[in-house]
């Protein structure tokens, strides 16, 4: 297999119609593509933007130092809220990723395979930069070898 040089940022509709129209299991795989395209495995929440830490320039006046102290106190009071929002976003994203992994391995029949984790890890490594659809493509190709 040739290394991936660029991502295909096109709709999977044409690919699905061409590749799966003759397949007996086309409906099963179509459902997986539809879930991916609909964003079922993507975190739809906006990633929280962290507060900017104030800084004090080297040659500063006493007024600038007082302002810096106030700004730093405000920054430190906002930081725990930001971290909580960020951790919640990451937890949800991780949960969605786990659900994708579970569903994908189940769809291709590798749930109970002894090397399922390594197979998925390889598919993810090769395709995740182009999105979950590409991970799904790699996983389908690998499943043909291991089933």
DSSP 1-13: -PPP-S---S-SH
- Closest by CA to 140, choosing from 30, 4, 10, is 30
Question: Token pair for residue 143?
Answer: 């499943």
pLDDT tens for the chain, residues 1 to 147: 434 334 444 444 444 444 444 444 555 556 888 889 888 899 999 999 999 999 999 999 999 999 999 999 999 999 999 999 999 999 999 999 999 999 999 999 999 999 999 999 999 999 989 989 999 999 999 999 887
Question: Token pair for residue 119?
Answer: 């197979």
Q: Is the pTM of this model over 0.75?
A: no
Angstrom distances, CA of residue 21 to CA of 36, 108, 137, 140:
19, 17, 16, 16
């Amino acid at each position: 297999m040739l290394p991936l040089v660029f991502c295909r940022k096109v709709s999977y509709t044409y690919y699905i119609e061409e590749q799966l129209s003759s397949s007996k299991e086309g409906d099963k795989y179509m459902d997986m593509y539809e879930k991916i395209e609909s964003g079922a495995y993507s975190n739809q929440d906006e990633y929280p933007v962290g507060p900017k830490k104030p800084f004090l320039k080297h040659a500063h006046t006493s007024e600038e130092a007082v302002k810096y102290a106030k700004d730093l106190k405000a920054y430190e009071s906002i930081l725990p809220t930001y971290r909580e929002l960020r951790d919640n976003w990451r937890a949800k994203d991780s949960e969605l990723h786990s659900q994708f992994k579970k569903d994908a391995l189940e769809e291709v029949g590798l749930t109970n395979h002894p090397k399922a984790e390594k197979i998925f890890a390889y598919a993810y490594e090769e395709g995740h930069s182009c999105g979950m659809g590409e991970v799904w493509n790699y996983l389908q190709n690998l499943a043909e070898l291991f089933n």
